[in-house]
Amino acid sequence: GAVVSQHPSWVICKSGTSVKIECRSLDFQATTMFWYRQFPKQSLMLMATSNEGSKATYEQGVEKDKFLINHASLTLSTLTVTSAHPEDSSFYICSASGDRDDYVQYFGPGTRLTVT
Amino acid sequence: AQSVTQPDIHITVSEGASLELRCNYSYGATPYLFWYVQSPGQGLQLLLKYFSGDTLVQGIKGFEAEFKRSQSSFNLRKPSVHWSDAAEYFCAVGVRGNMLTFGGGTRLMVKP
């Protein structure tokens, strides 16, 4: 139980294009979803928190116009990297918490983004 | 502000040996504490969590952790390590609104 999926698992895009990453909670309702970025051999950096039906709350230093987050339903959140540049290349991980287990975040498998 | 420190960046143990991964936190209130494991190129899997009650908590894959308030620690242990335990381990403290603050991680390598 408590399965979170991400799609795609990896994506390569050209500089200047936009990429959308989906995060779904498969067997529970996710009232809150989180988006993280992870650089090689480093810990996770929280980018933003989103609650279903509300605007996302971005961490300091994260450009909200570049990283668009939509939490449209209790099982789906999307992260769109707009006008991607090579420095946006990273491993993006989402997590979800909700009615299954208070205060526990369940993580997706991550999405490797490479911008050429 | 809360913080989590994992003093050991890398640890190498022999298969079958015991393991202890250290985690220290700084937080003004009673913390919610977690250990997650990450295999290469994967997301994080919850190993165990502490909210309250018994300070020794059991998790999956034979792991356990002990909460010591006096030392602000939540160390992860396993009596006998298997080669499949090689991974990155993250300690985290839960703060406002279900948010987590992560430690820097400890990379575990297992020698045959």
Give B9-63 pLDDT, tens digit per residue: 999 999 999 999 999 999 877 789 999 999 988 889 999 999 888 999 999 999 9
How many angstroms away from the CA of A24 is the closest CA of chain B?
A: 14
Residues of chain A with C-beta less than 8 angstroms from the C-beta of B104: 42-43
Q: Which two tokens stand for residue A44?
A: 């996770």
- Give whole-number Cα distances, B69 to A104, B14, B73, B106, in Å: 21, 30, 7, 22
Q: Give the per-residue pLDDT at B109.
A: 97
The answer to whether B50 touches B72, Cβ cutoff 8 Å, is: no
Q: How far is A35 from chain B (nearest CA, A)?
A: 11
pLDDT at A13: 96
* Contact B42/A at CB under 8 A: yes
Q: Which residue has the higher pLDDT, A1 or A15?
A: A15
B50 or A54: which leads in pLDDT: B50
CA-based nearest residue to B72, from B8, B3, B12: B3
pLDDT at position B1 = 76
**Strand ranges of the sheet holding A4-7, from the earlier edge strand across to the other edge:** A4-7, A19-25, A76-81, A67-73
> What share of chain B has pLDDT > 90, as a percent?
79
pLDDT band of B69, cuts 50, 70, 90: very high
Handedness of CA A40, B3, B46, A46 (dihedral sign): negative
What mean pLDDT is predicted for residues B56-80? 96
Contact yes or no for A93 and B44 at CB 8 A:
yes
Asked whether residue B80 carries a pLDDT value surpassing 80, the answer given is: yes
